[in-house]
């Protein structure tokens, strides 16, 4: 019998039985072991076992009943979600380890902080607000383009920018085949051979502001991030860390289970010459 061509072909049925639990990389990230991407690399290199069996693929769901180890050590239960504001000084790399032996932000952070991950990055010579968290889920959520939080920067450039020069930044640029979204740009003041700008953007491509400025003929000689979404650098001094209250995390991120409110002291930067953590 010929098939009725007026009806669309039947779609293959999906297996209704989805494995219980969450993906292993998500569970590792939620426990603060590493970011989700880093957790996937740990799995691929055979550092993770589930119920005594080494796994090398992240396509696995696990539940609370599964026994997970990393480098032979049992995975600890996830901690309550926590976040910190950190004033990154210039001259530090935003990474856990640097192949060139340069100092990282983790060499500068107070020793009593738990294991934390940075939300996004600031390059070596940039300074200002960097968000830290113990929760890989928070990190992933805030880094996704769909989150779209505005990040504001105070930028000092060498040159004499005009409104005409800045217009392409507001329209969006394409540099070396890479498209940059329109930026919010305000010319604050001219100070001798330099000018100060306030720039806002909703994505964070590598060295985006520096590359965009170079494209219109300006050179950045100082770049300070002053806000990331609702979070402000405020009066934090270089190297200082301030934990956010649980209520703020719950309100801004819609997260349940955030660490209860308590007085949040500002942690001073580590004394120069002190040994850092890796």
The 3-state DSSP class for residue 173 equals: strand
Length of the chain counted residue by residue: 278
The answer to whether the beta carbons of residues 261 and 102 sit under 8 Å apart is no
Domain annotation covers residue 271: no
CATH of the domain at 42: 3.10.290.10
Number of domains in the chain: 3
Backbone dihedral region of 60: left (phi > 0), alpha (psi from -120 to 50 degrees) or beta?
beta
Whole-angstrom distance, CA of residue 258 vs CA of residue 136: 14
DSSP character string of 108-120: HS-TTS-S-EEES
Cβ count within 10 A of residue 269:
17
> Does residue 193 share a domain with residue 235?
no
Instruction: Judge whether 123 counts as a catalytic residue.
Output: yes
**Over 70: is that where the pLDDT of 7 sits?**
no
Domain annotation covers residue 155: yes
Domain that holds residue 113: 83-146+230-257
pLDDT single digits (tens) 161-187: 999 999 999 999 999 888 989 999 999
Which of 2 and 142 is assigned the larger pLDDT? Answer: 142
How buried is 149 (Cβ within 10 angstroms: 0-12 exposed, 13-18 middle, 19+ buried)? middle
Catalytic residue among 22, 66, 98, 123: 123
pLDDT of residue 263: 46
Whole-angstrom distance, CA of residue 17 vs CA of residue 86: 44
| DSSP secondary structure code for residue 273 in this structure | T
> Does residue 165 share a domain with residue 29?
no
pLDDT of residue 139: 87
**In DSSP terms, which residues pair with 48 in a beta bridge?**
55, 70
Whole-angstrom distance, CA of residue 243 vs CA of residue 194: 35
Whole-angstrom distance, CA of residue 12 vs CA of residue 14: 6
CATH of the domain at 206: 3.30.70.1560
Which of 266 and 161 is assigned the larger pLDDT? Answer: 161
Cβ count within 10 A of residue 220:
22
Domain annotation covers residue 208: yes
pLDDT of residue 148: 79
**Over 60: is that where the pLDDT of 16 sits?**
no
> Does residue 209 share a domain with residue 192?
yes
37 pLDDT band, cuts 50/70/90, is confident
């Amino acid at each position: 019998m010929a098939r009725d061509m007026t009806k669309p072909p039947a779609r293959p049925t999906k297996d209704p039985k989805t494995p219980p639990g969450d993906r292993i990389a998500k569970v590792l990230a939620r426990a603060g072991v590493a970011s989700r991407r880093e957790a996937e690399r740990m799995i691929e290199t055979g550092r993770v076992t589930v119920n005594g069996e080494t796994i090398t693929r992240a396509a696995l769901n696990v539940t609370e009943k599964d026994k997970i180890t990393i480098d032979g050590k049992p995975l600890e239960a996830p901690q309550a979600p926590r976040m910190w504001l950190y004033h990154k000084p210039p001259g530090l790399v935003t990474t856990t380890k640097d192949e060139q032996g340069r100092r990282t932000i983790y060499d500068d952070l107070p020793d009593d902080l738990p294991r934390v991950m940075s939300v996004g990055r600031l390059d070596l010579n940039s300074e200002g607000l960097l968000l830290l968290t113990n929760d890989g889920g928070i990190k992933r959520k805030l880094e996704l383009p769909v989150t779209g939080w505005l990040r504001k920067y105070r930028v000092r450039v060498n040159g004499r920018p005009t409104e005409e020069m800045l217009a392409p930044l507001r329209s969006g640029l394409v540099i070396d085949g890479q498209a940059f979204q329109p930026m919010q740009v305000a010319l604050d003041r001219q100070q001798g051979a330099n000018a100060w700008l306030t720039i806002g953007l909703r994505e964070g491509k590598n060295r985006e502001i520096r590359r965009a400025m170079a494209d219109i003929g300006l050179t950045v000689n100082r770049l300070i991030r002053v806000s990331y979404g609702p979070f402000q650098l405020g009066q934090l001094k270089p190297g200082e860390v301030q934990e956010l209250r649980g209520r703020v995390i719950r309100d801004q991120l819609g997260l349940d289970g955030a660490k209860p409110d308590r007085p949040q002291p500002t942690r001073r930067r580590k004394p120069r010459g002190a040994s850092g953590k890796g």
